Amino acid sequence: MQPLPRIDDQPVPLRMLNEFTYCPRLGYLEWVQGEWADSHDTLHGEFIHRNVDREDKKAIPEAEELGEDSLHARSLRLENAELGLVALVDVLELDGGIATPVDYKRGSVPDNAEHSWEPERVQICAQGLLLRAAGYNCSEGILYYSASKRRISIPFDEPLVRRTRDLIAEFRRVAQTGQIPPPLVDSPKCPRCSLVGICLPDETRLLANLSEESLSSEDPEKEVSPSNFRPPRAALIPRSDELPLHVTEQGARLCKDGERLAIEYQGERLGSFRLIDISQVCVYGNIQMTSQALAELVDRDIPICYFTQGGYFRGITHGLSHRNVELRIRQYAVAGNPHQALIIARAFIAGKIRNCRTILRRNRRKEEEQSLDDPFGNPTGEALPPSTTQRETDGVIERLKHHASEALRAESLESLMGTEGMAAKLYFGEFAKLLKNGLHFEGRNRRPPTDPVNATLSFLYALLAKECHVALQATGFDPMLGFLHRPRYGRPSLALDLAEEFRPLIADSTALSLLNTGELSKTHFVQRAGACSLIPTGRKALLTAWERRLSGEITHPVFGYVLSYRRVIALQARLLGRFLLGEIPAYPAFKTR
């Protein structure tokens, strides 16, 4: 592995020491990899601290200047290079030359012998050590539990001081190794942890114990499924309450209105949305945005995605890059190694081909069910022998199975792309037969698309690339450097890589639904200079169907719990990171049955 940025000269934030004591993996994720996620517990904790976190302007006397008077100070910053610690003390009580730190805690006093938890005792003891290092007389600390409204005294005895110093040294040692600690085993701490969807404790342990062959196998008997093992606990939230905001009205203007984002057009307000309900802002064509709205979205880590009016994904605005430099260093190293990059690229393509088979098989079953239910074409109601078209489809499905296995054995990127090209030709040949309402499709064309089917697919593929870009960026990847799609100016190669396995399941299935149900018809498209594009009502119908599809829930084929497709994309980005950092033996492409 490439050398990591040195942290031996950086003080350990006391909040991170608390997390490391609670769970070493959590401390590593938050301090070294820069991960963070809010939960009800973290937000409630911020509310409890709302007063003590206000910086106190009064001067604090030096230790040798202390008199007999009492003094209270809030939000006091302490740092010591020898201890290697930096802390923000909630409240410091100075009384007759004695300094006592007070730490505010949400919840009630624990029902145990110490009336406190070890991470809390270590945290308050570390504050005492910092005060001692600054020359103050400090022999105990106070934990204040807001729900119980009780103060618990924590004496700084020798065992606690030794334990605190040992944990500081151990945290620094672990952080410098560049190896994330393993997840806890069936711990009750995990389900309520705010980082459970990032840490993936049960999922990582499960996959780490499986072989590379079982994770990438195309043989149903060897394939990983929840029936073969104890599935992970369903700790992930199936879908988020936050949703993307799509703005397509040309000439519209986005502005900040308190805690809301408003959309205006020619002085008229078209609508406004709470910022806490927005996960992304997607603008199409000529949409303006005030600097105040832009700054607020960046501060809240809400990405702003830019598309052309025709749906081409142009770029993204976001805050500072994710702090997980460790992951990007590993990504660059693997992308620069043709053999290692090929291993990941194989999984992307094999997963895509497998999912192409799934789409064809699902629609093959629908045709059979319709023929059984048709009283005119099938008066007996008995199963009919397969038609010529159905036999051809069965043959294509079998050949796609062969190509999926072939992709896993490809010895070069060129060979892999050749296999993918042959599979795509077979798939789209059958895809055309699934279309109804007199729509013709003679294969993929783009830049520009020349017919309604290709215009629909191109728009949906751009939306999928955006979704993968956002998920990868949130994980800490550089979306511009891929393993399958080679780097090219302006192309989010890794986002296109991750999109491959989802193209059939999300984009192609949405296109079929839109076109076959009549939600999109020929009247929703316009032809200009040999190019075909959607008119505004068509774009609205497509975006509505797209969000409906991403919000749709599916049972995960490996983990057995239910997630929305948008959550699945984010989960796959996390699993790719777990593979690159060596926690699991292979990248498990998402393949449905």
One domain for residues 257 and 133: no
One domain for residues 124 and 158: yes
pLDDT class of 411 with cuts at 50, 70, 90? very high
One domain for residues 116 and 265: no
One domain for residues 313 and 333: no
Give the separation between CA 413 and CA 341, rounded to whole angstroms.
9
In this predicted model, what pLDDT tens digit does every residue of 36-48 receive, in sequence order? Answer: 776 555 665 555 5
One domain for residues 157 and 259: no
pLDDT class of 261 with cuts at 50, 70, 90? very high
One domain for residues 306 and 334: no
pLDDT class of 356 with cuts at 50, 70, 90? very high
Phi-psi region of 266 (alpha: psi -120 to 50; beta: other; left: phi over 0): left
Contact between 254 and 281 under an 8 Å Cβ cutoff? The reply is yes
Q: Coil, strand, or helix at residue 98?
A: strand
Whether the pLDDT of residue 51 is over 60: the answer is no
In this predicted model, what pLDDT tens digit does every residue of 301-315 receive, in sequence order? Answer: 899 999 988 888 888
CATH number of the domain where residue 132 is located: 3.90.320.10
Q: Is the peptide bond before 588 cis (omega within 30 degrees of 0)?
A: no
> Is 546 inside any structural domain?
yes
Whether the pLDDT of residue 98 is over 50: the answer is yes
Give the separation between CA 315 and CA 356, rounded to whole angstroms.
28
pLDDT class of 529 with cuts at 50, 70, 90? confident
What burial class does residue 133 get, using C-beta atoms within 10 Å of its C-beta: 0-12 exposed, 13-18 middle, 19+ buried?
middle
> Is 227 inside any structural domain?
no
Q: Indicate the angle between helix axes 536-551 and 565-580, nearest 10 degrees.
A: 60
Phi-psi region of 567 (alpha: psi -120 to 50; beta: other; left: phi over 0): alpha
> Is 76 inside any structural domain?
yes
pLDDT at residue 1, rounded to an integer: 44
The domain containing residue 100 runs over which residues?
12-56+67-177
CATH number of the domain where residue 533 is located: 1.20.120.920
Domain-ending residue, one of 159, 177, 195: 177
**485 known member of a binding site:** yes
One domain for residues 465 and 417: yes
pLDDT at residue 173, rounded to an integer: 92
Give residue for tokens 């969000």: 547
pLDDT at residue 384, rounded to an integer: 42
One domain for residues 282 and 347: no
How many separate domains does the chain show? Answer: 3
Q: Tell me which of 395 and 231 has the higher pLDDT.
A: 395
CATH number of the domain where residue 293 is located: 3.100.10.20
Domain-ending residue, one of 149, 177, 205: 177
One domain for residues 264 and 355: no
Contact between 152 and 117 under an 8 Å Cβ cutoff? The reply is no
In this predicted model, what pLDDT tens digit does every residue of 8-19 receive, in sequence order? Answer: 678 899 999 999
Whether the pLDDT of residue 483 is over 80: the answer is yes
Give the separation between CA 207 and CA 215, rounded to whole angstroms.
8
pTM (two decimals)? 0.84
> Is 294 inside any structural domain?
yes
**420 known member of a binding site:** yes
In this predicted model, what pLDDT tens digit does every residue of 141-152 receive, in sequence order? Answer: 999 888 888 899
Contact between 178 and 222 under an 8 Å Cβ cutoff? The reply is no
Domain-ending residue, one of 123, 153, 177: 177
Whether the pLDDT of residue 49 is over 60: the answer is no
> Is 532 inside any structural domain?
yes
One domain for residues 530 and 425: yes
Mean pLDDT of the chain: 84
pLDDT at residue 68, rounded to an integer: 56
What Cα–Cα distance (Å) separates residue 403 from each residue in 5, 338, 354, 396, 473?
42, 22, 9, 10, 31
